[in-house]
Structure 1
Amino acid sequence: MNATRRTQSAMQLMDSRQHGADCELFLVEGESAAGAVAAVRDARRQAVLPCQGKPLNAWRTSTARVAAYPLYPQLAAALGLPSATDAAANAAAAPRFERLMLLLDPDADGIHIGALLLLYLKRFAPDWLAQGHVLMVRPPVAGLRVAACDTGEVEDVWAYTPEQARALRQRAAAAPDRWTVLREWGFRGLASLPPEVLRTTCVDPATRRADVVTPEQMQSVIDVFGGAPGD
């Protein structure tokens, strides 16, 4: 067993106190991110599972390898699925959560990890995708806390792409008579975000950006990362 598998085997689900309707499981990159999200979640109905390292491509490999890879049995058990690799049995199971939230870093590694997780779900838990239970959370790449010079009113403004971040900084710099920049955040991982920012932008259902994974998005993932399916 390689080092990544040993590390993943040591990862622990930070479970919620309740399960079922309106409960959700966050899947995040690593222990630091998991700890940060757990600290700001609603522990009654939000659980957190860390994913350590880049997952096995479950689309291309054998069922036996998928079953032996620690992350996928952990994820199946957390979701309440009876098997990591039996799609028919999983379709009939009563889920422990209503939503699976993929909360990953907004960089190339995070995109790749998200794609690999979606490939696993498409092959072994396709009903979760078909029924709209899988969502991608969009963390900001940068943010500014600004105060209006005339009223003193404070506002947090977020950028979700590098282009938006540049435009945000340029707009603030061009209007010093209108805005005072109180604080600036640059994204260096979920654990680097101040707790109130992490809660507002990524965890709180009322304020975060999260989109249901669509069939078109799933097909794009298969086209880019899938290839020929395993046995």
Structure 2
Amino acid sequence: MAAQKPKPEKRGHAPKNKAELFEFFRLLAEDNPDPQTELEFGNEYQLVVAVALSAQATDVGVNKATKKLFEEVKTPQQMLDLGEEGLKEHIKTIGLFNSKAKNVIAAAQMLVDDFGGEVPGNRDDLVKLPGVGRKTANVVLNCAFGEAVFPVDTHVFRVGNRTGIARGKTPEKVEAQLEKKVPEPFRLGAHHWLILHGRYLCKARTPECWRCPVVDLCGYKDKVLEKPKGR
């Protein structure tokens, strides 16, 4: 009987101090110096719409649906002129498009009525918009207004807990940990690095630890250190 090949050592640990947290984000930044959202938009209002549509949908799917929509609609008033049925024709390939269309039109009406057609640059006002929760508001504040805030989607939640850099049982608790722990100069881009890391490397079912730049600064106990056959 042939001897079994020894399993790779489960190396690495969660960042234990400020220096290791700095190194964690430095390595992500070295791998991707200028992280950006993968949603396509031309202005603050289009970003609000794109993020609202992205709930339970892929960025790729949203971008396909909004390509022609955003050629026609650049302001809340133009969205109202298009109308709910017209909007549905553009976004009918996206999950939950009926309820999303209703919220987008209602938000456009509020922006026109209460904010002079402009997207507000603060969280308290943004979350008043129909279909806009804290995560969406944080994305808008980060991507459109350059604020160092930390939207927590499923990828950020998974990566934060799995690596140990920001553990919490709710998105709010993970966000609070990131707010407390992410060092400068990485705060503005942190959520982009974590989202992209979760989307392309630290995947839900089979994390690709064998090619991960921060594998030695990760507290995940079930690392996949060898590439599965056939992949």
Q: Which of the five TM-score ranges fits, normalised by the shorter chain?
A: under 0.3
TM-score normalised over the length of structure 1? 0.25
Instruction: Give 1 or 2 for the bigger CA radius of gyration.
Output: 2
Q: Hey, which of these two has a bigger chunk of strand by percent?
A: 1
Q: Hey, which of these two has a bigger chunk of helix by percent?
A: 2
